Structure 1
Amino acid sequence: MGKLLKAHMKCAAALCALTLGASQAYATEGYFANGVGARHKAVAGAGVADARDATAITINPAGLANLDENEVAVALSLFNPNREFTVTGGPGFLPDGTTESNVDIFPIPNFAIAYKVGENGTLGFSLSGNGGLNTNYSAVDNPACSSGPFPASDGVYCGGKSGVNLMQLFFSAAYAHDFGAVKVGVTPIFAVQRFRARGLAAFGGVSSDPTNLTDNGQSYSTGFGARVGVQVDPAPGFRIGATYQTKFSMGEFDEYAGLFADQGGFDIPSTWQVGIAADVSPQLTVMADYRRINYSDVTSVNNPSSVMLPFGSTDGPGFGWDDVDAYKLGVEYRPDEGSAFRFGYSHNSQPISGDDVTINVLAPGVQKDHFTAGASFAMGDSSTLELALMHSPGESVTGIEVTPMGPNPGRDIEIKMNQWEFTLGMKFKL
């Protein structure tokens, strides 16, 4: 078992390198991932009361206590978000017509391991993405760029190629204890996030620190937080689960202190999730969850873009994102001990309003509905193959253009996105 464990830890290190070396985006509720691991993704992020594998660390750590064997779970998702914006109406600043973001396929790895400690305890470790976003626009023709002191004569924001890339990675350790009808878990978390922006020259005149606004390469920040969870089994075949993840006070993105409010502040907001799971029969489980993401915890995310202060200043403009309420339904059918089939649906509130579409061309996190399906198949006595598929249909938000000189009510911007994701996972009993 020692050799196998070392092999899996090497796999985790490789996944970490892949994650840190790639651009990231996620099937999103705002910019948070709506599920982690193949099983959780296949039920649209439901299951806070029905964790059945090592990825419980990232969902509800109390669920680790449900495991009766040591386990490793690894997964790789291929995520395809199709982002674009369309500008119509009279003269204005952003380029006319439809502009599409270029990079459309993102690999997203996930790793978790759980190890039984005595009769009632379970230890775990996971490496997972909490969320992220990405846009990558070509240096499109833009006549407005010739009329101002900009470094380029093309690009969405007169800086040539433009876009942003945000990645958030969680290193989580967990302990869960089984008290019988009540299970509890706690997970200290170390978070690393990375951000890059380019081509945002048009914001230079409204930035508190233009030299730390755009095109400064990758910027990193770190911080700590925690996740706690509980699962209660009040009756056979019926479970109640709840989990809370604290706000992370992250270090500043110093290289982008002129973009994000509070001199580059970009904390990670708190979240909580509650749910129930009912075994309708020995083969069929139904899950229903509610999740809250408190984007209002973070000034640079929540503040409206219309705040009359320079970008990067204390309590300055942000992306105008509201808190998100997400409702999730998942179904798992197990016809035999070696296989399972899963379906899910989630719906969340819209974080972006029409008042903030101009800045959210960079971060069009407009998705509201996710349809999911998946399956798992035993590959022997100690391994299981897992699959998941997600589709989020096209969603859009429209509002008037807001230029560096002020609102332009005769010109509309529509930001739009649809998403696909395929996940392949494996679980191993140690």
Structure 2
Amino acid sequence: MTNKYGQTATRLGMTLATAMLLATPAMATEGMFALGSSTSQRAMGGTGVAYGFEAMSAAVNPANAANVGRQFQMGLDIFSPNRGFIRGGVDNESNSNYFPVPNLSYNHPLANGNVLNISMYGNGGMNTDYSIGALGAAPVGIDLSQMFISATYAGTSGNLSWGIAPTLAIQTFKGEGLIGFGVLGVDRDWSYGGGLKAGITYKASPTLTFGLAGQTKMYMSKFDEYATLFEGAGSYDIAASITAGIAWKAKPNLIIMADVQRIFYSGVPAISNSSAIPLPLGSVGGPGFGWDDINVLKLGMEWKANDRMTWRAGYAYSENPVGPEDVYFGVLAPGVVTHHITFGGTYAFNERNSIDFAIEHAPKNTVNGFVPAGPPPLAAPGSIYMSQTSVSVGWTHNF
């Protein structure tokens, strides 16, 4: 890599990192988690815990970095959710329907045979933006964005690959029209913290690889501006998760993958506590969004048609974390989609450079319950709903 190229890549990386901090992703596809961190992962239904072939694969399993050479990746997902609530037969759709979600990663083999990987990517978030007074004021809504910066150290020992990734987490939140909940301000607040990601892969045979990866809870500083909204005076950590998977090389040019993921929303009271708890918002043990822990099943395939063209497809089923009893708060965070269909591929211009692309669609899902009919606790029968579409593009450079 020449100095000129290095300076260009550095400028591009800094620009993308800044954009990532300012991006405002809506509700991600697994409740509050993104279906995948890279364009290729999204094309394969979010699978990849047992398949490391790109720098960004360290985001799904840090052990994957050990199987990738020196590589730089960057990408952008344009995420478009359709979400809202129905009350009295009237569809109240949320505004702000397009959100940029960038990512970048650099994988660097070390002299000792191990690998260092630096990745930055949007972990997930939520957004609603209603022009009506759903909670007694207008406009009303919330905006949460989360970004991870991971430094992965990975290596191999025989058929076993391992990786560990201390991870810095940054999140930002803004709420509007929440006077009914006792939140007077509308200032954007920031929260910082971190945790650990780790994983292994085991190559059981030339055609079969198993993978296991986990993420601890990300312990975050409090949203002081929203101490009267989130349980524990503004406490809002990021949930832990664990993923196990398999990659089967069915043919020399065909790989089939299956992952199973568990997301532990119950470890974050502001997310998991019942919205019906008879305590003030913001108090210790107070109400939350009422989200349940969920399981996610992901299926994916990759078919290398020729030296230049690779095709990918996938499907994912995510349990819905929001029950009928928590639809009232769910108006602000209707993360209820369950089915996800994905497609994409990679076109290699040469041995060094390629373009990745993907499209993902989650059909509309609806949950019935009681929705706001004015300032809390006024409520009326209704429902919340969401569907999603996203288009992703990425660039991969091999050194």
Same fold per TM (> 0.5)? yes
Q: Which runs of 5+ in 2 are unaligned?
A: none
User: In the alignment, which of 255, 266, 279 is matched to residue 225 of structure 2?
Assistant: 255
Match of 2:125 among 126, 132, 135: 132
The answer for the alignment partner of 2:154 in structure 1 is 176
**CA distance in structure 1 between the aligned counterparts of 2:329 and 2:372, rounded to whole angstroms:** 8
Q: Does 1:57 align with 2:58?
A: yes
Q: Find the structure with the greater CA-based Rg.
A: 1
TM-score, normalised to structure 1, is: 0.90
Runs (4+) off by over 3 Å: 401-408
Of the three residues 368, 372, 384, the one matched with 1:398 is 368
Residue 305 (structure 1) aligned to one of 271, 275, 298 = 275
Offset, 1:401: 3.9
Q: 374-383 or 278-287, which moves further after superposition?
A: 374-383
1:396 & 1:214 partners in 2: Cα distance? 31
Q: SS at the partner of 2:219?
A: coil
The residue that corresponds to 1:202 in the other structure is 180
Residue 200 of structure 1, CA deviation: 1.2
Q: What is the Cα deviation at residue 402 of structure 1?
A: 6.4
The 3 A distance-change label for structure 1 pair 196 and 244 is: same
CA distance in 2, matches of 1:406, 1:110: 41
SS at match of 1:29: coil
Match runs of 1:2-401 below 5 Å:
3=3, 4-67=5-68, 69-88=69-88, 97-118=90-111, 120-138=113-131, 140=132, 155-204=133-182, 213-401=183-371
Q: Which runs of 5+ in 1 are unaligned?
A: 89-95, 141-154, 205-212
Distance 1:401 1:157 in 2: 9
Query: 2-side partners of 1:26 and 1:42: how far apart?
Result: 19
Shift of 1:5: 3.4
User: CA separation in 2, counterparts of 1:169 and 1:302?
Assistant: 21
Letter in structure 2 aligned against 1:418: S
> In structure 2, what residue type is equivalent to 1:181?
N
CA contact (8 A) 2:65 2:115 kept: yes
Q: CA RMSD in A?
A: 1.5
Match among 368, 373, 396 for residue 427 of structure 1: 396
1: CA distance between counterparts of 2:273 and 2:327?
13
Cα offsets for 1:347-377 (capped at 9, x unmatched):
0111000111111101000011110000101
Is the CA contact 1:347–1:369 (under 8 Å) kept in the aligned structure 2? Answer: yes
1:32-52 per-residue CA deviation (whole Å, 9 max, x = no partner) reads 101011111101111100121
C-alpha displacement of 1:19: 1.9
Distance 1:131 1:284 in 2: 30
Distance 2:28 2:277 in 1: 29
For residues 218 and 364 of structure 2, the distance between their equivalents in structure 1, rounded to whole angstroms, comes to 31
Does the 8 Å CA contact 1:286/1:331 hold for their aligned counterparts?
yes
Q: 8 Å contact 1:266–1:298 — kept in the other structure?
A: yes
Match in the other structure for 1:93: none
Query: Against the structure 1 CA distance between its residues 352 and 214, is the aligned structure 2 distance closer, same or farther, given a 3 Å change threshold?
Result: farther
The 1:271–1:164 alpha-carbon spacing in structure 2 relative to 1, beyond 3 Å, is same
One-letter code aligned to 2:140: S
Using the alignment, how far apart are the partners of 2:311 and 2:22 within structure 1?
33
Letter in 2 for 1:159: A
Whether the aligned pair in 1 keeps the contact of 2:85 and 2:371 (CA below 8 Å) is no
Q: Give, in whole Å, the separation in 2 of the partners of 1:6 and 1:59.
A: 28
Q: Does 1:417 align with 2:386?
A: yes
Counting matched residue pairs gives 397
Q: In structure 1, what residue type is equivalent to 2:305? A: P
Q: Report deviation, 1:98.
A: 1.4
The one-letter code matched in structure 2 to 1:419 is: Q
Q: How far apart are the structure 2 equivalents of 1:353 and 1:402?
A: 16
2:125 is aligned with what amino acid? G
Structure 2 CA distance for partners of 1:405 and 1:286, relative to 1, 3 Å: closer
Q: Structure 2 length normalisation: TM-score?
A: 0.96
**Alignment partners' CA distance in 2, 1:27 and 1:401:** 22
